[in-house]
Amino acid sequence: MTSVLNSTWLVWAIVVAVGFPVLLVLLTEVHNALRRRGSALARPVILLRNYILPLGALLLLLVQAMEISDEATSVRVVATLFGIVLLVLMLSGFNATLIQGAPEDSWRRRMPSIFLDVARFAVIAVGVTVIMANIWGANVGGLFAALGVTSIVLGLALQNSVGQIISGLLLLFEQPFRLGDWITVPTAAGRPAAYGQVVEVNWRATHIDTGGNLLVMPNAELAGASFTNYSRPPGEHRLTLVTNFDAGDPPDDVCAMLSAVAAMLPDVRTDGRITTLYLGGAEYETSIPLYTPALDEAVRSTFRRWVWYAARREGLRLDGVADDFGTPERVTSAMRAVASTLRLTEAEQHDIAAVMRLVRYGDGELLQRPGQVPFGMRFVVSGRVSLTVTDRDGAVIPARTLERGDFLGQTALTREPVLATAHAVGELTVLEIARDEIERLVRRKPILLQVLGAVIAERRASERRLMAAVDD
């Protein structure tokens, strides 16, 4: 009896019989806890519980408790399965701890997938070699020697191609740009640099959408060249535009006009600051903060178009060209559109034409915003004006559309701020009259004051109803 109790096989049998269920319960609890937390380590733990632990217990029973020789085929098969599952566990743990558990902006997240594939292949190769050499007694020295000679031969034959691939992989690992970034890359000599959005990055090349064309740029060329990433750092992108005016235009007036036009653009970043610099001579530089470089082309076009109209309204000579639109003949002709509204006779039209100004606005330009007190009245000669109001949640509500003969800025008489936002729809031509001139006109025509007062009351009531209806 004493000899049985002192037997080594009995000790191992008791260890397996007690330790296996205890470890099984512990690993089950750990797995459940990790799964509830959504941890990436849940999969390695389930592999350990379902495969490594049973195979390890079986291997201990065969070798220690049953004292079967290591050379037996059954032991070798179980040991091989144990080694293969252990390899799978190592790969799973490697992926869970190094990749899935990495912070979003860490170098581990930026690591190209081909590097991970090579690392996995190396782990598998080493593991299989250890299994074949230690369990089955295979001679793997000759195989490694043959692979080494082959690698040297292939490396010498493909050194240029391999060098380009390595350069590309290093570029991917550093990751100076990501999908969706806007970059400028150098092209062939004598051709301008290409500007576009990164739409695909693989181990060999970067695909850039340049707007109508797809530029496929080898990563090896990008790794050896300098390029500009307009999307980094995020939230700091600015569009810089240079405009030319006549050297005789006052620089302060030009800078104020350019900044005012830039502030009206719909895609300007609200947390940025618009700046306009006088570069000397006839050049001015306007810097506009934008949310993304994807807006550059649209904003550039809109800014230049609106500057063309604004410069002529302000009497500034963009590119040295003066405005000759508001001639007396055109003003007299445009008076027909407002004569009935102002109840003017032929003689009165001729007299008031001298204090009227005929100007144009580009499509989408802002004529007034809520809270402003108009400097005068504007009468639509051609084109249309869209009036909108904004509720407390920021929703834009259409109020009305003004057409030929209609007017806005009527609260200039009462010095009240407007409630509606006004934008030009298409090219807009208006006749402008200052507040003082309107006051002189209504003093001569009391009936006109009643008409304008009724329009002011009706429009304000309508706009308030619209805002109240949406808020309710």
List the domain range (segments joined by +) for residue 179.
174-229
- Per-residue model confidence (pLDDT) at position 402: 93
pLDDT surpassing 50 at residue 1: no
Confidence band of 469 (pLDDT split at 50, 70, 90): low
Residue 390 is assigned to a structural domain of this protein: yes
Residue 19 is assigned to a structural domain of this protein: yes
- Per-residue model confidence (pLDDT) at position 365: 95
- Per-residue model confidence (pLDDT) at position 288: 95
Residue 265 shares a structural domain with residue 333: no
Above pLDDT 70, what percent of the chain? Answer: 84
Cβ–Cβ < 8 Å for 208, 196: yes
Distance between CA atoms of 208 and 106, rounded to whole angstroms? 25
Q: Any idea what the CATH number is for the domain that residue 344 is in?
A: 2.60.120.10
Distance between CA atoms of 379 and 387, rounded to whole angstroms? 14
Cβ–Cβ < 8 Å for 65, 12: yes
Which has the higher per-residue pLDDT, 278 or 109? 278
**Contacts of residue 108, Cβ cutoff 8 Å, sequence gap at least 6:** 98, 99, 102
Residue 343 is assigned to a structural domain of this protein: yes
Residue 287 shares a structural domain with residue 368: no
Residue 47 shares a structural domain with residue 25: yes
Residue 298 shares a structural domain with residue 361: no
Neighbour count for residue 295 (Cβ, 10 Å): 20
pLDDT surpassing 90 at residue 422: yes
- Per-residue model confidence (pLDDT) at position 283: 94
For residues 182-205, give the mean pLDDT. Answer: 77
Residue 359 is assigned to a structural domain of this protein: yes
Q: Any idea what the CATH number is for the domain that residue 182 is in?
A: 2.30.30.60
- Per-residue model confidence (pLDDT) at position 28: 87
Residue 188 shares a structural domain with residue 266: no
Residue 283 shares a structural domain with residue 367: no
Confidence band of 223 (pLDDT split at 50, 70, 90): confident
For residues 212-238, give the mean pLDDT. Answer: 80
**DSSP H/E element including 149:** helix 141-157
Residue 411 shares a structural domain with residue 465: yes
Residue 341 is assigned to a structural domain of this protein: yes
DSSP letters spanning 385-419: EEEEEE-TT--EEEEEEE-TT-EE-GGGTTTPPP-
Last residue of one domain, picked from the residues 285, 313, 341: 313
Residue 465 shares a structural domain with residue 342: yes
Residue 440 is assigned to a structural domain of this protein: yes
pLDDT tens for residues 79-132?
888 888 888 888 777 777 666 665 655 655 555 565 666 677 777 778 788 877
pLDDT tens for residues 425-445?
999 999 998 888 888 888 888
- Per-residue model confidence (pLDDT) at position 2: 47
Distance between CA atoms of 417 and 410, rounded to whole angstroms? 10
Beta strands in 53-211 (DSSP E): 182-185, 194-201, 205-209
**Contacts of residue 214, Cβ cutoff 8 Å, sequence gap at least 6:** 199, 207, 208
Residue 380 shares a structural domain with residue 404: yes
In the chain, the number of structural domains is 4
Residue 192 shares a structural domain with residue 302: no
Confidence band of 281 (pLDDT split at 50, 70, 90): confident
Residue 272 shares a structural domain with residue 201: no
Residue 467 shares a structural domain with residue 332: yes
Q: Mean pLDDT, the chain, as a whole number?
A: 81
**Contacts of residue 244, Cβ cutoff 8 Å, sequence gap at least 6:** 282, 283, 284, 318, 319, 320
Helix extents (H) in 175-249: 219-223
332-346 burial, b for 16+ CB within 10 Å, e for fewer?
A: eebbebbbebbebee
377: nearest Cα among 363, 361, 356, 360: 356
